[in-house]
Amino acid sequence: MTKTVFLFTDCRTDPGELTPAQAHRAMQVHLACSVELCKVRRRARQTLVEARLMVLDERAEP
């Protein structure tokens, strides 16, 4: 089995579709980023919410 390593280093570039595992890793890598400024964290959050692995506080913007 081949394992692909994804590097989410550029906050300005949307990484595109992510698996839940990739989204979880991206959230860890971009822990200090805000979803308002970081496209990687924004995409990762969207992926986890859609997979029902994350529930947003009602005060958070979708």
Q: 39 lies in a domain?
A: yes
Alpha helices, DSSP H only, in the chain?
A: 20-29, 39-50
Domains in the chain, number: 1
Q: Report whether pLDDT(2) > 80.
A: no
Q: Report residue 61's pLDDT band, with 50, 70 and 90 as the boundaries.
A: low
User: Rounded to whole angstroms, what are the CA distances from 40 to 2, 52, 55?
Assistant: 24, 18, 18
Residue 1 domain flag: no
- The answer to whether residue 5 sits within a structural domain is no
Please say whether the beta carbons of 46 and 14 come within 8 A: no
pLDDT of residue 4: 47
pLDDT tens digits, 25-50: 999 999 999 999 999 999 999 999 99
- Note whether residue 4 is domain-resident: no
Domain with 27 in it: 13-57
Q: Return the pLDDT at 7.
A: 63
- Does the pTM of the predicted model rise above 0.85? no
